[in-house]
Amino acid sequence: MAALTDTLRPGIRFPEVFAERCVHSHLQWASCGACVECCPHRAWVLDDARLALDAARCDGCGLCVAACPQGALGLAVSAQTRALEEGALTLVACERAGPGLVGEAVVPCVHGLTLNSLLAAYRGGSRVLVVAQGECERCDRGGWHSLFDRLDRLNGLLRQRGLDSLDLRRVTAAQWQRVRDRSGDREAGPWLSRRQFLRTALHRAAEQVGARSEPAAMSFQPPGRYLPSRSGEVVIFGPEIDPGRCTGCGDCARICPQHAVQLNSGQGARGSLRTDPDLCTGCGLCRDLCSVGAIEILRWGVPRREEIPLTRSRCRACGAPYWHPPEGDPSSCPICRQRRHNDRLFQVLD
């Protein structure tokens, strides 16, 4: 996969592809097809040989950027966070929200705003998201409401943790532009009066804190890192391992790009498989690779279990050391059990 540029079609901003982050660079049969599924113009092509973007179909909406769990796609568009005396707010507007709406924080589609962008704004102190949008239901980009779905989910998590919400303000293009351009209009309307948050904000000069741009390859981090969790709290994503099915092979730990599943060798013959939901992106690689179907991806819920105890034994057939649950078969490794013979096998050991 290679990055695309707007030289292919003047005026269209194509998503940049960070191939090393895509799950299909880690596992050929990875099940993720988020970019393909969300694209309203079927510009993404995924088959046995390739994942590719048909530039003739792409209109640069950015929905695929928000859908990608691994931050493997990016666009040079951004929301904008501003600090005011009463607090901070984040601005984003659809380019189709009104005539002549251009410039900072104007994006092809507000539904392309990523979850990480919302989290970054929240961590930056923003408690209000000001949005101007077009007529989504009539839009040829599909009428998506995924930004608001993500915001609802995020606010549910924040409420469960006893934190302030990220409140949504939907405004007209003219109102939005006045806020962004600091016009000084005191009569913008009651949409900004809740909690007296912006009672005098429109006539004050606002200090720009900085643009929240879509994550680049090197800056991407799992969404849980923005709001670290404690035991019993709702998490955004998390790998859940069924101890009744797990064989302790450790393939899930080896394939996870973010180390959300870790194989801890411990001391001597005791170890464990440990999950860290705050590092999970929900990409599903661990689930796809698990040969016994022991892993599911939890989304916006409370993890049931975070650690699977393991015991280290040596295979009687091939002599290789291997991990297994304490109640598992201590006589032979998974490879020898699968092959059902006692020949010595060559294995790649950690």
Q: Report CA Rg, the chain.
A: 24
Report the CATH number that the domain containing residue 65 is assigned in CATH: 3.30.70.20
User: Does 171 lie in the same domain as 99?
Assistant: yes
Whether residue 252 lies inside any domain: the answer is yes
Say if residue 101 is in the same domain as residue 147. Answer: yes
pLDDT, residue 313, reads 87
Contact by Cβ (8 Å): 90, 116: no
Burial 237-255 (b: 16+ CB within 10 A, else e): bbbbbeeeebbbbbbbbeb
Is 223 domain-assigned?
no
Is the same domain home to 264 and 137?
Answer: no
Listed residues 178, 213, 248: the one ending a domain = 213
**Contacts (Cβ under 8 Å, ≥6 apart) of 208:** 80, 81, 82, 83
Q: Is 336:318 a contact under the CB 8 Å cutoff?
A: yes
Q: What is the mean pLDDT of residues 139-151?
A: 86
Report how far apart, in Å, the C-alpha atoms of 206 and of each of 25, 105, 167, 176 are. 44, 15, 19, 14
Tell me whether residue 348 is in a domain. no
Q: Is the pTM of this model over 0.85?
A: no
Q: What is the structure's pLDDT at 170? A: 95
| Residue 251 sits in the same domain as residue 312 | yes
* 109 within some domain: yes
Domain count, the chain: 3
The reply to whether 279 and 209 lie within a common domain is: no
Q: What is the pLDDT of residues 209-239, one digit of tens each?
A: 333 444 444 478 999 999 999 999 999 999 9
346 within some domain:
no
Q: Which helix (H) or strand (E) holds 185?
A: none
Task: Determine which helix (DSSP H) or strand (DSSP E) holds 179, and give its type and residue range.
Answer: helix 173-181
pLDDT at 284: 97
Beta carbons of 334 and 322 less than 8 angstroms apart? yes
CA angle 112, 33, 262 (to 5 degrees): 95
Q: Taking residues 233-249, report their average pLDDT.
A: 93
State pLDDT tens for residues 317-332. 888 888 888 886 667 7
Same domain, 88 and 21: no
Instruction: Record the tokens describing residue 341, joined without a space.
Output: 């013979």
- pLDDT on residue 328: 67
Query: Where does the pLDDT of residue 265 fall: very low under 50, low under 70, confident under 90, or very high at 90 and above?
Result: confident
Which DSSP category does 128 fall into?
E
- pLDDT band at 207, cuts 50/70/90? very low
- 186, 213, 240: which is the final residue of a domain? 213
pLDDT at residue 205 in the model: 29
Note the pLDDT tens digit of each residue in 23-54: 999 998 899 999 999 999 999 998 877 788 99
Same domain, 91 and 181: yes
Does 36 share its domain with 107? no
Tell me the residue range of the domain where 31 lies. Answer: 16-74
Q: What CATH number does residue 307 fall under?
A: 3.30.70
Q: Within a domain: residue 5? A: no
Indicate if 325 and 240 belong to the same structural domain: yes
**Of 146, 180, 213, which residue constitutes the final position of a domain?**
213
Give the β-pairing of 207-213 and 261-264: unpaired
Tell me if 7 is assigned to some domain: no
Which of 189-193, 198-202, 322-326, 329-333 has the lowest average pLDDT? 198-202
**Quick one: pLDDT at residue 83?**
73
Assigned domain for 220 exists: no
Say yes or no: 89 and 204 in one domain.
yes
Are residues 171 and 137 part of one domain? yes
pLDDT tens-digit series, residues 81-137: 877 666 789 999 999 999 989 888 999 999 999 999 999 999 999 999 999 999 988
- Assess whether 53 and 99 both reside in one domain: no
State the average pLDDT over residues 5-26: 78
Give 271-304 pLDDT, tens digit per residue.
899 999 999 999 999 999 999 999 999 999 999 8
